[in-house]
Amino acid sequence: MNSPKEYIQKNKERFIDELINLLKIPSISADAAYKEEVLKTAEAVKMRLEEAGCDLVEIEKTPGYPIVYGEKIIDENLPTVLVYGHYDVQPPDPLDLWDSPAFEPVIKKTELHPQGAIFARGACDDKGQMYMHVKALEYMTKTNQLPCNVKFMIEGEEEVGSESLGWYLERNAEKLKNDVILISDTGMISKDVPSVTIGLRGLSYVEVEVTGPNRDLHSGLYGGAVANPINILTKMIASLQDEDNRITIPGFYDNVEELSLEERAKMAEAPFDVEAYKKSIGIKDIHGEKGYTTNERNSIRPTLDVNGIWGGYTGEGAKTVIPSKAYAKISMRLVPNQDWKEITELFKVHFERIAPEGVHVKVKPHHGGQGYVTPIDGIEYQAADLAFQETFRKSPIPQRSGGSIPIVSLFEKTLNSKTILMGFGLDTDAIHSPNEHFGIWNYLKGIETIPYFYHHFTKLKA
Ligand code: BES
Ligand code: MN
Ligand code: MN
């Protein structure tokens, strides 16, 4: 294969402009007010896939937002790479913390991105990373170097739990048949330490509602004599972790996969600077489950976090009131062998059981998904390793990530193929946060590395 470097150098301004145009469309899947924008983004992705050389591109209806399917089949006897990504983005809130508007992309230099980074919601998660694949395809088709078949499946509901994907996979298993799934929707350790994500955590997401008295009460007349739902809820939440920061839900750890000391020692070889970590997020000390390192806590260990909590009076000034209701949204990150539906049930039973008589508790399950681990002894991983060697001059470090992409385990179950997670974002790129950005160097390096994956995978498969 010829090096893609020259092609990228010649076309990089256009590659950046095209991504910026995509980032201008606010495809916020969580907010129904943006429905038209989400649909418009699907159209834009379709057009770009056609331009990049797909022979067939369809916008496929689902019960939710559509899936953009594209393909270029050059020879039925050659292997097929299925690329997955998402064109929807997280809501940009809180808006006032953005230095420039979330959907008006700007390029700015930062300490970690001296060549500039594109600041916009979705820049890294996942429009920028998804679009690297579109441009890599363009390179391979325009220079006659596509070595195998390729299929694209770009969805619009990832940030809200990929509800329609199971439905779509069931109906399209034959059409989506492939030899490997390639995804760029994770990160890398740093610009000079490439890594391949070999694990994702599962997720169980619940909302709880605690009801006390049948109406808000005067906190003087009733205070001290009835259970305050907010006091109770916060106490209940606090009791979910013990002094070692272990989760107290009975049965929670029953199926947790314990890593061997060798595996943990291998993990500890990945470079990690705890001081830089603390500094980057402005904390004085780290925190977590006793007996585990920071990198273990956020990848191979399950967790429980409150994502939001509300109730009572939060307006200006003071209002003396005992609220009738209190609410919280809680997420649990799970590790291999924990079943998300089982964990959701364990949570529900436990949370209802620990509630005092004076309140009524309702637990409403939201979405969830299973964790995933990619084997590193297969040709899928080998191809990724070789691809990184071509463009970084060194082997990537296999790394488990703490994030979740529930669709990956579903892929394995329904399509029976392995997934390679080739991420090019940095943890500091602020995905889901204000001022999300994606380094231009990372973007172009991704476009450069991806064709080598195709090349090596096709050779290894032959
Ligand atoms: N791309 C992220 C997941 C991710 C990011 C994994 C970085 C590993 C490293 C994805 O878009 C995401 O945000 N997933 C959600 C889960 C989903 C069910 C809403 C998450 O992890 O919170
Ligand atoms: Mn993503
Ligand atoms: Mn995301």
Task: Give pLDDT tens digits for 252-277.
Answer: 999 999 999 998 998 899 899 999 99
The pLDDT value given to residue 275: 97
Same domain, 455 and 429: yes
CA distance 443 to 440: 5
What does DSSP say about strands 117-119 and 437-439: parallel, antiparallel, or unpaired? antiparallel
Q: Would you say residue 283 lies in a domain?
A: no
Residue 265: half-sphere exposure toward Cβ, Cα within 13 Å: 3
Residues 6+ apart with CB under 8 A from 111: none
The pLDDT value given to residue 165: 93
Q: DSSP labels for 162-223?
A: -TTHHHHHHHHTTTT--SEEEE--SB-SBTTB-EEEEEE-EEEEEEEEEE-SSS-EETTTST
Q: Would you say residue 281 lies in a domain?
A: no
Of 125, 147, 15, nearest to 80 by C-alpha is 147
Average pLDDT over the chain, rounded to whole?
A: 97
Of 386, 385, 455, nearest to 198 by C-alpha is 385
In tens, the pLDDT along 177-235 reads 999 999 999 999 999 999 999 999 999 999 999 999 999 999 999 999 999 999 999 99
Report which DSSP code applies to 301: S
Q: Would you say residue 292 lies in a domain?
A: no
CA distance 241 to 402: 19
In tens, the pLDDT along 110-152 reads 999 999 999 999 999 999 999 999 999 999 999 999 999 999 9
Number of separate helices (H) and strands (E) present in the chain: 12, 18
The pLDDT value given to residue 408: 94
Ligand 1 centroid to Cα of residue 312, in Å, is 31
Q: Would you say residue 112 lies in a domain?
A: yes
Q: Would you say residue 286 lies in a domain?
A: no
Which residue out of 405, 410, 428 has the highest number of ligand 1 atoms within 8 Å of its CB and is therefore the one to mutate? 405
User: To which H or E segment does residue 388 belong?
Assistant: helix 379-392
User: Which parts of 227-333 fold into alpha helices (H)?
Assistant: 229-238, 261-267, 274-281, 294-297
Higher pLDDT, 65 or 271: 65
Same domain, 130 and 19: yes
Domain end residue (candidates: 368, 395, 412): 368
Contact of 91 with 102, CB cutoff 8 Å: no
Distances (CA, A) of 262 to 212, 269, 292, 398, 401: 51, 11, 14, 14, 18
Q: Please determine, for residue 42, whether its predicted confidence score (pLDDT) is greater than 90.
A: yes
Ligand 2 centroid to Cα of residue 126, in Å, is 5
Angle at 343 between CA 256 and CA 196, to 5 degrees: 50
Same domain, 232 and 326: yes
In tens, the pLDDT along 355-394 reads 999 999 999 999 899 999 999 999 999 999 999 999 999 9
Ligand 1 centroid to Cα of residue 402, in Å, is 9
Same domain, 169 and 234: no
270-281: b or e for each residue (b if 16 or more CB lie within 10 Å)? eeeeeeeeeeee
Determine if ligand 1 sits within 6 Å of the CB of residue 203: yes
Determine if ligand 1 sits within 6 Å of the CB of residue 429: no
Same domain, 189 and 217: no
Whether a cis peptide bond, with omega within 30° of 0, leads into 126 is: yes
Helix, strand, or coil (residue 140):
helix
Same domain, 309 and 345: yes
Residue 229 sits in a domain whose CATH number is 3.30.70.360
Residue 278 pLDDT class (50, 70, 90 cuts): very high
Ligand 1 centroid to Cα of residue 421, in Å, is 12
Contact of 414 with 173, CB cutoff 8 Å: yes
Same domain, 235 and 196: no
Residues 6+ apart with CB under 8 A from 416: none
Higher pLDDT, 367 or 288: 288
Determine if ligand 1 sits within 6 Å of the CB of residue 404: yes
The pLDDT value given to residue 367: 87
Domain end residue (candidates: 326, 347, 368): 368
The residue segments making up the domain with residue 408 are 5-200+371-461
Same domain, 355 and 234: yes
Q: Would you say residue 225 lies in a domain?
A: yes
Determine if ligand 1 sits within 6 Å of the CB of residue 406: yes
Same domain, 310 and 327: yes
Of all protein residues, whose CA lies closest to atom 4 belonging to ligand 1? 403
Of all protein residues, whose CA lies closest to atom 18 belonging to ligand 1? 161
Of all protein residues, whose CA lies closest to atom 6 belonging to ligand 1? 403
Which ligand is the nearest neighbour of the Cα of 423?
Answer: 1
Nearest atom in ligand 1 to the alpha carbon of residue 432 is: 13
Number of domains in the chain: 2
User: To which H or E segment does residue 51 belong?
Assistant: helix 35-51
Residue 88 pLDDT class (50, 70, 90 cuts): very high
Same domain, 142 and 189: yes
Helix, strand, or coil (residue 459):
helix
Q: Would you say residue 419 lies in a domain?
A: yes
Residues 6+ apart with CB under 8 A from 417: 82, 178, 179, 180, 181, 411
Q: Would you say residue 336 lies in a domain?
A: yes
Which ligand is the nearest neighbour of the Cα of 201?
Answer: 1
Same domain, 238 and 352: yes
Residue 404 sits in a domain whose CATH number is 3.40.630.10
**Other beta carbons less than 10 A from residue 190's beta carbon:** 15
Which ligand is the nearest neighbour of the Cα of 165?
Answer: 1
Domain end residue (candidates: 368, 398, 418): 368
Determine if ligand 1 sits within 6 Å of the CB of residue 125: yes
Determine if ligand 1 sits within 6 Å of the CB of residue 159: yes
Q: Please determine, for residue 1, whether its predicted confidence score (pLDDT) is greater than 90.
A: no
Same domain, 196 and 218: no
Ligand 2 centroid to Cα of residue 88, in Å, is 9
